[in-house]
Structure 1
Amino acid sequence: MIALKVYRLLPSPARRRLLRLLPAHRRIGLVQTLSRPRGGDTVHPLGARVAVTDGGVRTRAEIVATATPLEQWHRNLTAVTTALHAAGIEYHCIRNDDHLRSTVAVLDDQRPAVQRLIRSAPALSGADVRVVQVRPRRDQPDAAPTEVIQVCFPVTDARAGVVLGAQFACEIEFWSRHGDMVRAPRRNGVVDEAPARAQPVRVAAALMSHFVPEADDHTYGTRRDLAVRAPDRVGFPIDAVYTWVDGSDPQWLKRKSLALGAPDGPVHAVAANSSRYHNRDELRYSLRSLHSFAPWLRRIFLITDSQLPSWLDPSHPMITVISHAELFADLGGRSSYNSHAIESRLHRIDGLAEHFLYLNDDVFLGRPLLPNHFFHANGIAKFFPSPAQFGLGEAKPEDPPVKAAGKNNRRHIQRQFGVTITQKMKHTPFALRRSIMQQIEGMLPDEVTATARHRFRHHGDLSIPSSLHQYWAFLTAQAVPGDIEYEYADLGHPSTPARLAELLARRHRDVFCLNDTDSDPRSFAEQERMLADFLPRYLPFPAPFELPDDVVAERRKVGAGELWRRSYRPVPDARRGTPVDAPTMPNNMLNTVTDFKAVLGSREQPGRRRSDPSGERHDI
């Protein structure tokens, strides 16, 4: 990080002079060289234990091939409850104020027994154990800080760049007895004190943390009076939707060229430039971020123009791939090169949840998030206004398509609600509701259909999920502004490598966007090298819907369009009774994938095993 600090200490004129030494398309490489952090290139073998820094504390972590925060949350809590049960120490689990950690409560007179257990229990062998000071209960502001014991099993990737440790620890806290009552030593998510005698029950893990999905079938022991559902827990299903294209695919390029030869109207230069369709495998890592940081998502829908990513297993139960032929079936089933048009049809996806996140493949979650970041528990969506504005006046053909669509949105908001909007939205996951998009189409049928018919971005388009939906929902009391820690980086800007180095070092953003608006094609190679260095370091653990590397290598030789063609089979669409494109695994790849899954079959998936053996009566 020394080079990064030195680069940032340079005055702006000196930075600019430094960058001017190279052609524009080489400047990114220079800044990346200056800002790339040292170290982290040693690849450690699986199972090794290496020195890492976790939460400012030096400890040792195990090298693993795959891991997620949710898996570690369960592993830590299960180990503690298993050890307590084996030792005959009564306990109950209770919701932690920090939903990324779990809490186990034990009576204070059992503290010596717990301390001995921590050192000797087989279930806790190899655990990182810390005694930490925490603030006392809120009704005791003058009390001294209380101690809790944090237990975790730190793991890391082969380069020891990502550590999953104390952030997901199980915390053992000690409750004091006061007559026939017991009292919590600090604030928790349920109660300050409770009767000493209580009926033990086993409850779903989802009651212990908002981070745990509803479908998770782990159970843990607690008291019946603590087995309560929080009013702010999001209990409805949430899906995710992506749009994706591989702009280097020969079949797709041929279709695009033919479409440009017969456009629906004037095509703005930005609407058809190669930057809009360039594929750098961002989708792979964006999906990794969802798998790791949003385990509460139910399903992921991927909209493509009859293409398949080489690394994606479309047979995975969480993944549904939809072609333009299906999405635009009522308009002739033709390909679209207009994201506004594709987005105008999202609410027509069969089986999509009422509440869903819409993401472009250049948007990534940066750390574990709760559903509450995007939706309130009563169903109201959140949106994140940007300080950027789209200007005054009516949309004109020469306007950049994004600004033109924003102006069109404003015109309809003015007509419907009598207010004037000026702000864009941050480039984050958009929290959407199908019913609101249906309302918009019902009120503006001609405009929505016209947008869907434009095969390239058009100055008459609406941008529904990225702007119109948010304001429409807000003005009908169905959405409210929210806050999110966010980073936006333009891949073509020479400062981007330095910003990525900071992201990698601090991991301090909820969401980040790595956008490419209109880059010089000569800089694509440098941008690809930059992302190929950054993304695997930030998100090193593969998701279960990724294919093994040897299969991916073979599939890359084929191309995204040919992969789709080989996996195509007509499937009746129940809504129309006509065949539509539906992806299946190519026959020559199916056995390889099946064998790969058999090899990893012993690896348990999150939410598929039972935890905490105790079901006996508790005294607290």
Structure 2
Amino acid sequence: MDKIDFVVTWVNGADKKWQSKRAKFDSGSVSEAGMSSDKAYRDWGTFKYWFRGVEKFAPWVNKVYLVTDDQVPTWLNLRHEKLEVIDHTDIIDAKYLPVFNSNAIEMNLHKIKGLSENFVYFNDDLYLTAPVAKTDFFSQGLPVDMAVLSPIIPEKNGTANFQVNNMEIINSYFSRREILKNGRALSLKYGKNLVRTLLQLPSKRVCGYFEPHLPLKFQKQTFETLWQKEPEIITQTVASKFRAKTNVNLWLFRDWQLATGRFVPTNTDKLGKLYSLDGDNTQVFSNLESGKHKVMCLNDGFEVNDFVKQRELLLASFAKRFPKKSSFER
């Protein structure tokens, strides 16, 4: 199988220099909005365990690209043969910098110099907690994924606006029939998720795809194709210093792969699960320590009571799962 790279984005929201830079562009109304709230930049101190998970459970990875804004963790081994640190200036036009919008940053991932055609994208809240194989991400040279239909649910501080904007583009290029056919909509490989699609079949339009909060598998050519076809809205997104309702997001590229049929059907539930951290994370910590899932998405919830205590407990669970330093650490 062709080589596969990992890409991960990271920001240290506690960095005073970064805070000062952000404050120059934030009038206060931006940080108060859920899409760009301080929670979005809060650091739980767990990032080194992301690297420990990669080394222990995905030793086959070709390269790891860390995308940051003039920041590098103090503990990171910059001499590691598999590691490349990519600054925003390396992939984003200078006229749009600085940028504090994850959507804008992610529109440019394909511009990473040396990035393999097939790559896996991680947010820094996605951790490998059990062994994964290349085939968990790619098969037959294509991403493994599931084209499951699902309505877009509007929620305060949610992603619905981005998803609607994404689907407006998808529906302008593909008919309902093409989306169902190319996505192998009735594939039994989707398991119980097939029910989601069955409930949407009576609709005359495709409202949206089900978006699992798991690592995303991409081909660079998908980014290049959409930049060529939809430069205006993608450029508008890149020009947004903070997340805005008019943005598209990274799922647009995934949705395009599903709509074109450039993927291999699978049930992504087998890969991992999303957890939102809150006031009682006992089950989360237990599952982390036991390695119940291959991937765990530990989403920073809006109602984390006693953040300091929960952070200490989470770090303790990670330390039990990954007691030894990785070679990515100094």
Pairing 1:177-188 to 2, within 5 Å after superposition: none
CA 1:434 to 1:493, structure 2 compared with 1: closer, same or farther past 3 Å?
farther
Alignment match of 1:324 (pick from 88, 97, 102): 88
Provide structure 1 residue ranges, at least 5 long, that are not aligned to the other structure. Answer: 1-234, 393-397, 548-620
Structure 2: distance between partners of 1:534 and 1:516: 16
Q: What secondary structure does 1:514 align onto?
A: strand
Aligned counterpart, 2:24: 258
Structure 2: distance between partners of 1:417 and 1:388: 17
Q: How far off is 1:274 after superposition? A: 1.5
CA 1:275 to 1:523, structure 2 compared with 1: closer, same or farther past 3 Å?
farther
Aligned counterpart, 1:287: 51
Q: What secondary structure does 2:56 align onto?
A: helix
Aligned counterpart, 1:539: 322
Structure 2: distance between partners of 1:532 and 1:275: 18
Structure 1: distance between partners of 2:81 and 2:143: 26
Alignment match of 1:402 (pick from 159, 166, 190): 159
CA 1:387 to 1:512, structure 2 compared with 1: closer, same or farther past 3 Å?
farther
Q: Does 1:475 align with 2:239?
A: no
Could you tell me whether the CA contact under 8 Å between 1:268 and 1:457 is conserved in 2?
no
Q: Does 1:379 align with 2:145?
A: no
Alignment match of 1:391 (pick from 153, 171, 180): 153
Could you tell me whether the CA contact under 8 Å between 1:240 and 1:301 is conserved in 2?
yes
Q: Which amino acid aligns with 2:163?
A: G
CA 1:531 to 1:445, structure 2 compared with 1: closer, same or farther past 3 Å?
same
Q: Does 1:247 align with 2:24?
A: no
Structure 1: distance between partners of 2:98 and 2:319: 32
Could you tell me whether the CA contact under 8 Å between 2:58 and 2:131 is conserved in 1?
yes
Q: Which amino acid aligns with 1:439?
A: T
Aligned counterpart, 2:195: none
Could you tell me whether the CA contact under 8 Å between 2:150 and 2:207 is conserved in 1?
no
Structure 1: distance between partners of 2:236 and 2:46: 30
Q: What secondary structure does 1:261 align onto?
A: coil
- Structure with higher helix content: 2
Q: How far off is 1:532 after superposition? A: 1.3
Q: What secondary structure does 2:225 align onto?
A: helix
Aligned counterpart, 1:366: 129
Q: How far off is 1:534 after superposition? A: 0.8
Alignment match of 2:33 (pick from 263, 269, 273): 269
Could you tell me whether the CA contact under 8 Å between 2:144 and 2:266 is conserved in 1?
yes
Q: Which amino acid aligns with 2:318?
A: L
Q: Which amino acid aligns with 2:20?
A: K
Structure 2: distance between partners of 1:477 and 1:384: 10
Could you tell me whether the CA contact under 8 Å between 1:390 and 1:406 is conserved in 2?
yes
Q: What secondary structure does 2:218 align onto?
A: strand
CA 1:389 to 1:268, structure 2 compared with 1: closer, same or farther past 3 Å?
farther
Q: Deviations over 1:258-296 (max 9, x none)?
A: 111399xx7771122121111122221111111111111
Q: What secondary structure does 2:296 align onto?
A: strand
Pairing 1:464-613 to 2, within 5 Å after superposition: 464=250, 467-483=251-267, 484-494=270-280, 496-505=281-290, 507-519=291-303, 523-547=306-330
Pairing 1:180-199 to 2, within 5 Å after superposition: none
Structure 1: distance between partners of 2:116 and 2:265: 22
Q: Deviations over 1:122-141 (max 9, x none)?
A: xxxxxxxxxxxxxxxxxxxx
Q: Deviations over 1:170-219 (max 9, x none)?
A: xxxxxxxxxxxxxxxxxxxxxxxxxxxxxxxxxxxxxxxxxxxxxxxxxx
Q: Which amino acid aligns with 2:22?
A: K
Could you tell me whether the CA contact under 8 Å between 1:409 and 1:463 is conserved in 2?
yes
Q: How far off is 1:542 after superposition? A: 1.8
Q: What secondary structure does 2:86 align onto?
A: strand
Q: How far off is 1:493 after superposition? A: 4.6
Structure 1 length-normalised TM: 0.46
Structure 1: distance between partners of 2:57 and 2:146: 19
Q: What secondary structure does 1:252 align onto?
A: helix
Q: Which amino acid aligns with 2:237?
A: T
Q: What secondary structure does 1:332 align onto?
A: helix
Structure 2: distance between partners of 1:509 and 1:346: 27
Alignment match of 1:442 (pick from 228, 231, 248): 228
Aligned counterpart, 1:454: 240
Q: Which amino acid aligns with 2:324?
A: F
Could you tell me whether the CA contact under 8 Å between 2:39 and 2:300 is conserved in 1?
yes
Could you tell me whether the CA contact under 8 Å between 2:100 and 2:242 is conserved in 1?
yes
CA 1:269 to 1:387, structure 2 compared with 1: closer, same or farther past 3 Å?
farther
Structure 2: distance between partners of 1:463 and 1:492: 26
Structure 2: distance between partners of 1:293 and 1:374: 13
Structure 2: distance between partners of 1:516 and 1:527: 11
Q: How far off is 1:400 after superposition? A: 3.0
- Structure with higher strand content: 1
CA 1:478 to 1:388, structure 2 compared with 1: closer, same or farther past 3 Å?
closer
Could you tell me whether the CA contact under 8 Å between 2:147 and 2:258 is conserved in 1?
no
Q: What secondary structure does 1:528 align onto?
A: helix
Aligned counterpart, 1:430: 216
Q: What secondary structure does 2:11 align onto?
A: coil
Identity of aligned residues (%): 27
Structure 2: distance between partners of 1:284 and 1:540: 11
Higher relative contact order (CA 8 A, sep 6+): 2
Provide structure 2 residue ranges, at least 5 long, that are not aligned to the other structure. Answer: 177-205
Q: Which amino acid aligns with 1:472?
A: W
Q: Which has the larger radius of gyration?
A: 1
Q: How far off is 1:456 after superposition? A: 0.8
Aligned counterpart, 2:73: 309
Aligned counterpart, 1:345: 108
Structure 2: distance between partners of 1:408 and 1:250: 34
Structure 2: distance between partners of 1:441 and 1:280: 34
Aligned counterpart, 1:47: none
Structure 2: distance between partners of 1:384 and 1:239: 21
Q: What secondary structure does 1:352 align onto?
A: coil
Q: Deviations over 1:302-322 (max 9, x none)?
A: 111111111101222211111
Aligned counterpart, 2:202: none
Q: How far off is 1:331 after superposition? A: 4.1
Q: How far off is 1:386 after superposition? A: 7.8
Alpha-carbon RMSD across the aligned residues, in angstroms, is 2.2
* Matched residues, number: 299
Aligned counterpart, 1:415: 172
Q: Which amino acid aligns with 2:85?
A: V
